[in-house]
A and B are shown apart, each in its own frame.
Chain A
Amino acid sequence: MADLSGFRDLDYMEQVILLKEITDSKDSGALEGLLALQDEPTGDTAVDYMVTTALNAVISASEDKTVEGLGSDNPKLRNLCIKACMEHGFAKAAKPLAELAEAEKDPDALFDILSALSKLKDPSTVEVFRKRLRDPEPFIASLSLETIASLKDEASLDVLKDILLESESGDSYLQCDVTTWEAVAALGAIGSDGALAFLTSKLHHKNPTARRAITDTLVKAGAQSVPFLAEFFTASTDVDEQILCANVLGFIGDKKGADVLVERLDAGLIQDANLKYAVYEAMGRIGAMKAIVCLMDALQDTDEMILMAVVRAMDKNVNPGMAAKVVETIKSGGSQSARIGRAVVGGQALNLFKAVYGDETVGSFLVRVLSKSKDAEVVASFRATLEEIDTDRAKADLKTVAALEAPAGLQILAADDSKSMLALYRGVITDMGHTPLPATNGAEAFEFVEQGEEVAMVITDMNMPVMDGIELVSKIRQTEGMEQTPILMITTESESSQRGLAEQSGVSAFLNKPFAREKLVEMIETLLSK
């Protein structure tokens, strides 16, 4: 047994060798001596550090001894044992740790005990965490939420629902507390029908970060959340909720998700233009047969924004029947042909273009539409496609569609996670003789600003992944030289709370979807002239 009684009289090397021996042998007989040395350090940093190392080695050598130490009257020893339990996950410590947690009043000490206990993932200790889900100390509440999530504790469902409900009340929605985030994650981890149904009902949470967390959780749950989304989509009368629901169904990409969308569309229950737009986008992502038939019918829609979504959705799922339908519709002539032509070109539906180009009339018609485009990137992408097609006619057409230089004019930043909307902005901006800087989320858009691009105006969506429109606007407003840059926010949000948040961040003007192309042109002109 190691004798530490004369330790202080030993020289440095002897002390080091002795401590090393204890660390290696994990000799429990040295415990008292080491504790005494820790209480009154030698003053030599290296030796004191080795004392701690030796102490940790001795304590963690035996699970039984460590568990026994949890009951010690010596607070230092008890803390060391708690840390050892945390590090080594001693299963036998569950009960004493739970008892310690009950008795502990100091929040920091309680947090350490709960951290050690949560590592054990012992279902018998779940009650310790259940009763701390609403602890006023946010870290204790968050740790408890994480633990009940890892234990998939269905009995906590009601508390989790309350946390989420309260996170929207009053001004609470202004920021997404860590506990709100953890509650969403816990509901996702539990993953029961009740949890998913509730998350679905909160799809339109007032806080954008929480809303994103809910959306991501439902998408991650995949096919399992489809029945709840379908039910919610049918029952809801709120267009914003239905749009979010359609988006999630699209991202999940499960064929059953298309059923409800097709059913409601066939029954004539989807009339709102924004909702139609979202439904067609979702159908493009899902790509089920029924959805494709619906998309073909939608070619008759006269709204250019919707037509852009339809064409882009088709572009992801091109098949011969669809190509034939597009050829037939364009050949029938009239203003609808022109609209479809613009949607194919503006939406850069290259797969669809390739599929219908074989028909000489339609191919030439689309090339004529293309030759009017002022968007250098659009022209370049179609030129590359024509080169790929490489027939004699394609070679001849290449000569009629000259490559464009990037236009001069002003640079306008456009951020939207919907590719179709982005294509629409691009078209409008280039037609006005300006240069678009397209971005699919706020972070991408802010990169342009950080890179020092001269931005004359910003067009942004409100809800986007990674960084939403509101955060983008506040960052732009904090950027030197951009305090007064006109910012137009395009939104479908009808809730006043969201509009308020956006106004606070510094938006210059709003435009509600749906809008006519001319309205967007007019607003850009007005804002640029200010």
Chain B
Amino acid sequence: MDVELAKPFIKATKDVLSMMAFIQPAPGKPFVKKGNTASGDVTGIVGVTGDKHGSISISFDKKCAVTIVKNMLGDDVQDLLQDVKDAVGEITNMISGQARAGLAGMGVNLSGSTPTVIMGDNHTISHVTTGPIMAIPFQSDAGAFTIEFCFE
């Protein structure tokens, strides 16, 4: 299940969200999902290649995504939908970058793709993998989100 690969992503998520969006997420119990789909209202997903291949997604509920944007941009929100999309993409990118830098320090070299953001109430997206998917649910004052990992 490669938990040592997942851990830096969790740390990066906590760091990035607290630094950029001022929310303090608390991770719940990680669990294994059988289906290969992630669901949420706004999802950022990055593919990784290199020493390992896989994908990492972070799915926010609507309330959480909007709070992030408001915290990041203050009163400067112009087009909420577009801003949510940009913010989640940017956050996913930062998490991916920080986590990959952490992994490189442990001798695991990964390259990340540009994040893709999917929006739509209760949408589902697929991780392209045959392996099991580890999901970590997070709670915060701003709402809930889930990170999912799968490495082949």
Which residues on A are within 8 Å of B, measured CB to CB? Answer: 56, 83, 86-88, 108, 111, 115, 118, 138-139, 142-143, 146, 175-178, 180-182, 185, 208-209, 212-213, 442-443, 446, 450, 466-468, 471, 475, 478
Q: Which of B1, B34, B39, B122 contacts A142, CB < 8 Å?
A: B1
C-beta contact mask, B10-42 vs A, less than 8 Å → 1, else 0?
Answer: 110000000000000000011111111101000
Q: Is there contact, CB below 8 Å, between A146 and B35? A: no
CB distance from B124 to the nearest CB of A (A): 6
Q: Which 3 A-B pairs have the closest CB atoms?
A: A87-B107, A467-B35, A178-B30
Bound-state CA distance A146–B50 (Å) is 22
Bound-state CA distance A56–B1 (Å) is 28
List residues of chain A with CB within 8 A of the CB of B36. 443, 466-467
List residues of chain B with CB within 8 A of the CB of A471. 34-35
Q: Contacts A146-B3, A185-B1, A478-B122; is A87 near B31 (CB within 8 Å)?
A: no
Q: Is there contact, CB below 8 Å, between B33 and A209? A: yes
Q: Is there contact, CB below 8 Å, between B37 and A111? A: no
Q: Which of B1, B37, B105, B124 contacts A178, CB < 8 Å?
A: B1
Q: Is there contact, CB below 8 Å, between B1 and A182? A: yes
Q: Which of A86, A143, A468 contacts B106, CB < 8 Å?
A: A86
Q: Contacts A142-B3, A182-B1; is A175 near B31 (CB within 8 Å)?
A: yes
List residues of chain A with CB within 8 A of the CB of B122. 478
Q: Is there contact, CB below 8 Å, between A467 and B34? A: yes
CB distance from A498 to the nearest CB of B (A): 15
* Beta-carbon nearest neighbor of A108 in chain B: B11
CB distance from B132 to the nearest CB of A (A): 7
Q: Is there contact, CB below 8 Å, between B35 and A177? A: no
C-beta contact mask, B127-145 vs A, less than 8 Å → 1, else 0?
Answer: 0000010100000000000
Q: Which of A108, A118, A178, A443 contacts B31, CB < 8 Å?
A: A178
Q: Is there contact, CB below 8 Å, between A146 and B1? A: yes
CB distance from A501 to the nearest CB of B (A): 13
Q: Contacts A177-B29, A181-B132; is A468 near B34 (CB within 8 Å)?
A: yes
List residues of chain B with CB within 8 A of the CB of A180. 32
- Asked whether any CB of chain A lies closer than 8 Å to the CB of B7, the reply is yes
List residues of chain A with CB within 8 A of the CB of B10. 139
Bound-state CA distance A111–B4 (Å) is 8
Q: Is there contact, CB below 8 Å, between B39 and A139? A: no
List residues of chain A with CB within 8 A of the CB of B30. 138-139, 142, 177-178
List residues of chain A with CB within 8 A of the CB of B3. 139, 142-143, 146, 178
Q: Is there contact, CB below 8 Å, between B105 and A87? A: yes
Bound-state CA distance A83–B104 (Å) is 10
Bound-state CA distance A12–B139 (Å) is 45
Q: Which of A108, A115, A466 contacts B34, CB < 8 Å?
A: A466
Bound-state CA distance A83–B6 (Å) is 16
Bound-state CA distance A143–B7 (Å) is 10
Bound-state CA distance A468–B107 (Å) is 37
List residues of chain B with CB within 8 A of the CB of A450. 124
* Beta-carbon nearest neighbor of A180 in chain B: B32
Q: Is there contact, CB below 8 Å, between A83 and B106? A: yes
List residues of chain A with CB within 8 A of the CB of B35. 442-443, 466-467, 471, 475
Tell me which residues from 80 to 122 in chain B have a Cβ below 8 Å from any Cβ of chain A: 105-107, 122
Q: Is there contact, CB below 8 Å, between B32 and A209? A: yes
* Beta-carbon nearest neighbor of B123 in chain A: A478
CB distance from A473 to the nearest CB of B (A): 12
Q: Which of A146, A178, A442 contacts B134, CB < 8 Å?
A: A178
CB distance from A81 to the nearest CB of B (A): 12
CB distance from B60 to the nearest CB of A (A): 16
Can you name 11 extra interface pairs (CB under 8 A) apart from A213-B32, A467-B35, A475-B37?
A: A86-B107, A87-B105, A87-B106, A108-B11, A111-B7, A115-B106, A176-B34, A177-B29, A178-B30, A446-B37, A475-B39
List residues of chain B with CB within 8 A of the CB of A182. 1
Bound-state CA distance A343–B11 (Å) is 58
Q: Can you list 21 A-B contacts (CB < 8 A)?
A: A56-B105, A88-B107, A108-B11, A111-B7, A138-B30, A139-B6, A139-B7, A139-B10, A139-B30, A143-B4, A175-B31, A177-B29, A177-B32, A185-B1, A209-B32, A442-B35, A446-B37, A467-B35, A467-B36, A475-B35, A475-B37
